[in-house]
A and B are shown apart, each in its own frame.
Chain A
Amino acid sequence: MSLVATMPLPLYGFLEGDTIGLLILADENESIASLARKLQEAGNIRVRPRPEVQLVYQGKIIDSALSVSDAGFTALERFDVRQP
């Protein structure tokens, strides 16, 4: 476990069904599943959360068990959360 604190990674999240893109601060160590949940919570006011979603980054569906850093996310990039 790293003792070095990581800076949150700012990302643009787009939730399917929503009317706006949102700024989402990701933890590099958090899982893709957690990041998808975070965006669903942020857009919950306008979009009903869905039990099953997939996260798409740079045109590819990302394995939900990967971490944000393992998936190669860089700051200020777009990701999408949508229904399978």
Chain B
Amino acid sequence: MLKRDDWLHLARKLDWDYSYVSEKDVFPEEISGRPWLPHSEWRDWEEAFKTSYREYVQNQHDKDAAVYAVRDAVGRLEDIQKLATPWVNGLKVHGAALPLAEFTGVISNLRGARFGRDSAWRTMATFGALDEYRHTEIPLLLLHELVRWDPQFDWTHKLYHTNNWFAIAARHFFDELTIGQNAIEAHVATNVVLETGFTNLQFVGLASLAHGAADHSFEKMITSIQTDEARHAQIGHPVLATVMKHDPEYAQYLIDKWFWRNWHLFSTLTGITTDYLAAVDGRQNSFKEFMEEWIIDQFQRTLDEFGLKKPWYWDILLEELETYHHMVYATAYTYRSTLWFDFVIPSPAHRKWLRQKYPKYWDDLEAVWERIEEHWRAAGPGAQGESAVHGSALLAFCDLCQLPLSAGTPRNNTANTLVIDGRKYILCSEPCRWIFSREPERYANHRELTKRVLAGEAPATLPALVSEYFRLTPETWGKDMQAGKYSWF
């Protein structure tokens, strides 16, 4: 029997010359991606893990066993019920956003497994697809047990099957990133930008917060997922290196575009969990500091490694680090019935911490929370206040990121309009406008929520929108966690 090292290289690097079809027919540019290059330009594609299928299965089996063990020891319903209420709601946020997004990663990796330009890339993408299937199943498994306790956990599976405004935004992102994407762009955007960059917010930042919240089941789940990500993320780097060699301008565009798209989604998703739903007592790092340490610094090293420049919007990004997720959270609090988890008003001590971490614009954000508190005091706690302290006007959304128009500062919202072929669009920020303008044929026919309302595709009143279009019910729509009964009121 051959030893592993005698056959593995041949198995991984099994490419051949085509005799009765052209290479371009086997790997069409539309689905393999651009720049289209002959295989001779890809044959040096390599990654460090060089895993065999047998090793893969054994490793994954061991990792699954460890996840099951932690679930059985500390991840049962009675364990979750002991956790702080804000953290449980952060769990609902991530529980819903994660699993089916990971499933789109299965599709994306399978595309790489067929249309990747070198056999070692295709082998690694096959493992990547299996990884992403695992990342779909684990959160569905762990959180399913919680549905009988709290029906909002049903949104772990339900979110992406609805037209909830966050689902529209996340689907728009993942559809482009993974499902409707060619192999080159998908692997650069997913592996280089998302998996070696932004998922650090989850796998390092959120894991440490989960540890602090004593949620060891969630901590174990995301650290186990991270070990897979660290491996299959390696696909993207040699892909980017080849694109950089042949078309550096396009490489720069892909990085700039996808860093910004990731930033808005993760800021909304992880930003609010980190700074509003995780306890701040005894903790050092804010979301901004997590971003600076694990995303900004690492991203700059990645750019240097490939000879890429910082995105042109760097100063805008640094400004948004101060405000964006705060603007989204304050907005979402006042539209909490449009989402599937509950909200909390940050306490005076919490706001003091936020002011220390985000001094630049906190006065303006503090004024918003004071106004919300005035409404609670006037309406009183309970169901009456719950409906009175809630927005009723229709929110407006960005035509690129599909998220609320909450970019900029409370004094200077950066939304701007754009006309293409006689049609008007609104973009929340200059980078969203730039991305939209570069590929209007990709984005122009997708309607954000407001335009669906105006076109008669979605109900025009908030109650109908919440129940009929977002598919929320009185049991599942978001509420104030304290029903307005705050000790400092």
Interface residues of A (CB under 8 A from B): 10, 12, 14, 16-24, 42-43, 45-48, 75-78
Contact = CB atoms under 8 A, between A and B. Distances in A.
Contact of A78 (B327, B375, B395, B416): B416
Contacts of B334: 45-46
23 contacts: A10-B450, A10-B454, A12-B405, A17-B367, A18-B413, A19-B365, A19-B406, A20-B396, A20-B404, A20-B413, A21-B396, A21-B405, A21-B413, A23-B393, A23-B396, A23-B450, A45-B334, A45-B372, A45-B391, A46-B331, A47-B367, A47-B371, A48-B371
B416 A45 contact: no
B411 A46 contact: no
B218 to A, nearest CB: 29
Contact of A45 (B328, B390, B405, B424): B390
B435 interface: no
B97 interface: no
Contacts of A12: 396, 405, 415, 417, 426
A48 B372 CA distance: 9
Given A43-B393, A77-B417, 10 more contacts: A10-B454, A17-B410, A19-B326, A19-B410, A20-B327, A20-B406, A21-B426, A42-B392, A45-B389, A48-B367
Contacts of B404: 20-21
A18 B410 contact: yes
Given A10-B454, A17-B411, A20-B406, A46 B371 contact: yes
A24 B394 CA distance: 8
A20 B405 contact: yes
Contacts of B411: 16-17
B417 A45 contact: no
A45 B371 contact: yes
A76 B424 contact: yes
A52 to B, nearest CB: 17
A39 to B, nearest CB: 9
A22 B405 CA distance: 8
Given A17-B367, A17-B410, A47-B371, A23 B394 contact: yes
Contacts of A21: 395-396, 404-406, 413, 415, 426
Contacts of A46: 330-331, 334, 368, 371-372, 391
A interface: dominant SS: loop
* Interface residue tally on B, bucketed by range: 35 or more
Interface string B203-244: 000000000000000000000000000000000000000000
Interface of B: 326-328, 330-331, 334, 364-365, 367-368, 371-372, 374-375, 389-396, 404-406, 410-411, 413, 415-417, 424, 426, 450, 453-454
Which of B391, B396, B405 has the most CB atoms of chain A within a 10 A radius of its CB? B396
Nearest to B419: A76
B435 to A, nearest CB: 19
Contacts of B410: 16-19
Contact of B395 (A23, A75, A76): A23
B329 to A, nearest CB: 8
Nearest to B411: A16
Contacts of B364: 17
Contacts of B390: 45
A77 B454 CA distance: 14
A77 B415 CA distance: 11
Contact of A14 (B368, B392, B415): B415
Name, among B334, B393, B416, B424, the residue most crowded by chain A CB atoms within 10 Å (CB to CB). Answer: B393
A24 B393 contact: yes
A14 B413 contact: yes
B330 A75 contact: no
B258 to A, nearest CB: 25
Given A14-B413, A78-B415, A78-B417, A19 B426 contact: no
Contacts of B328: 19
B416 A19 contact: no
Residue in A10, A14, A23 with the greatest tally of chain B CB atoms within 10 Å: A23
B331 A19 contact: yes
B424 A19 contact: no
A43 B453 CA distance: 20
Nearest to A83: B411
